[in-house]
Amino acid sequence: MIPNHSNFACALMLFLVGWLMGILQVGSMPGVPTHGRYHASDMDDLREQLLGYSARPEVYAAGADHPAWYAICGMYQKTSTALGLDGMQLWNIATPCLLGLNLVLLLALARRVGFSTSQATCLSLAWLGTGGTTNWSVVLETHVLAPTTLLISALILSHPKLTPRIWNRASSSTIAAYGLAIAMAASITITNGALAVLAFVPARFVRRLRPRLLLHEMTRRSPTLLTAGLVGIGLLSLVHVTGWYLVQDPKMQHFLAILGERHLLTFMEGGWWDSVLALAWIAPPLSEYLGTPPENMLVLHFNWTTIPAYVSGVIVVFLTVCSLRVTPARTMFIPLFPLFGILLHAIYGRGESFLYAGAYGWATVISIGLLVRARFPESLSRIAMLAGIAMFVVNTLIWRNGLDWIVEQGHLLPELPLAP
């Protein structure tokens, strides 16, 4: 066993690597891309919310389906003013730190599920090279923060003493911890709460489906899930009310209005197979999206430049499914989460599903790492490191070419200060 001081040294190294890469990425960003010209992200609406111009500039802007977003916007505006920072300056300082923090959290989670320090470090670096991390770690989007909250939730759920107590007789402290995990997972995008809900699924029925026993076991566990869910909703409501207090905009959408979001399904374009892009480790080129947002949603053009993204998505889906055979019961929710994402985006998101790759990437890295460890335990670190380097080079080239395309096409927003 590698001594604990090595864990600290690796964590510090990963934070510095993530912070340095974030600084370089922020320095390379020419500005904030216009609506829908960065992997279908509605940059202009999100920036107006973050800087305080409007709590709800458009009906499809981040709202109740992102419960913590208003609170984040309000705290951002207050903190920027207190520090004397204008516009996006604080965001550009904070996001490299978040990237470093996320790498440290992945290291901690990988250690929690049984990887050695060297294996966990290599998996963290492999995640740094994926398309989702390369493209989303420093961009104005609520999903920048999603890996942070999801990793914290996964660390809570994977605690050796928590999961058995969730499955059996849960105490009030266990339910509170489970509710906190639900709230953390759902705080940035409410559908991400599925991460915590999937910890409720009995693993033995995932590997060998028995419908009658599955129904019986799920029924037995349902009171715990319901109670913890109410705790999670209460915490999210408190965060949402805090956001309303900070933003104080009468047009702000109230909590759980996401239940009416299904009207957006009529605008979803692209085929169900595009959902594999949510798990793709290779990024699609920015220039290959078709459409004129916000009039209609963007769809990724299928050609030789986008095939690597589709192929990587299919491979990651296949390997994640295979990992179900070797994943420990208390961490079965980790591979189930990205598979849930595939089903979700086969209906919702479709051609825009790469927008959410940053939220699922860490889970696929852990899942495939478990599979490789079961088959090639001595080679895991080398495989992860080589894959990470290769992906980092490819995705960085795609990312830089995309930025050049954005500049050439004039898809950049003028700089804005904080709203008065």
Give the span between the Cα atoms of 363 and 338, in whole angstroms: 7
Q: Give residue-wise pLDDT tens across range 114-139.
A: 999 999 999 999 999 999 999 988 88
Q: How confident is the model at residue 1 (pLDDT cuts 50, 70, 90)?
A: very low
Q: Give residue-wise pLDDT tens across range 175-230.
A: 899 999 999 999 998 889 999 999 888 877 777 767 777 777 777 778 888 888 99
At residue 104, the pLDDT reads 97
Instruction: Specify if 419 maps to a domain.
Output: no
Instruction: Specify if 93 maps to a domain.
Output: yes
Q: Please provide the average confidence, as pLDDT, over all residues in the chain.
A: 88
CB atoms under 10 Å from CB of 18, counted, come to 26
Does residue 37 surpass a pLDDT of 90?
A: no
Instruction: Specify if 217 maps to a domain.
Output: yes
At residue 223, the pLDDT reads 84
Q: Give residue-wise pLDDT tens across range 346-361.
A: 887 777 889 889 999 9
At residue 62, the pLDDT reads 78
Instruction: Specify if 372 maps to a domain.
Output: yes
Instruction: Specify if 418 maps to a domain.
Output: no
At residue 206, the pLDDT reads 73
Give the span between the Cα atoms of 14 and 30, in whole angstroms: 26
Find which of 6-15, 98-107, 283-292, 352-361 is predicted with most confidence, using mean pLDDT: 98-107
Q: Give residue-wise pLDDT tens across range 256-276.
A: 666 565 555 555 666 778 899
Does residue 11 surpass a pLDDT of 90?
A: yes
Q: Give residue-wise pLDDT tens across range 53-97.
A: 988 887 777 777 788 999 999 999 999 999 999 999 999 999 999
Instruction: Specify if 28 maps to a domain.
Output: yes
Instruction: Specify if 272 maps to a domain.
Output: yes
Does residue 168 surpass a pLDDT of 80?
A: no
> Which residues fall within 8 angstroms of residue 246, CB to CB, at 6 or more apart?
70, 71, 73, 74, 75, 77, 78
Q: What is the pTM of this model?
A: 0.92
Does residue 401 surpass a pLDDT of 80?
A: yes
Question: For the chain, how many structural domains are there in total?
Answer: 1
CB atoms under 10 Å from CB of 225, counted, come to 19
**Range 155-163 average pLDDT:** 87
Of 408, 404, 129, nearest in space to 285 by CA: 404
Q: How far is CA 93 from the centre of its chain?
A: 20
Does residue 400 surpass a pLDDT of 80?
A: yes
At residue 2, the pLDDT reads 44
Q: Measured between alpha carbons, how far apart are the two ends of the chain, in Å?
A: 56
CB atoms under 10 Å from CB of 215, counted, come to 11
Q: Which domain, by its residues, includes 370? A: 4-409
Residue 118 burial by Cβ neighbours in a 10 Å radius (0-12, 13-18, 19+): middle
Give the span between the Cα atoms of 127 and 420, in whole angstroms: 39
Q: Give residue-wise pLDDT tens across range 95-113.
A: 999 999 999 999 999 999 9
Instruction: Specify if 337 maps to a domain.
Output: yes
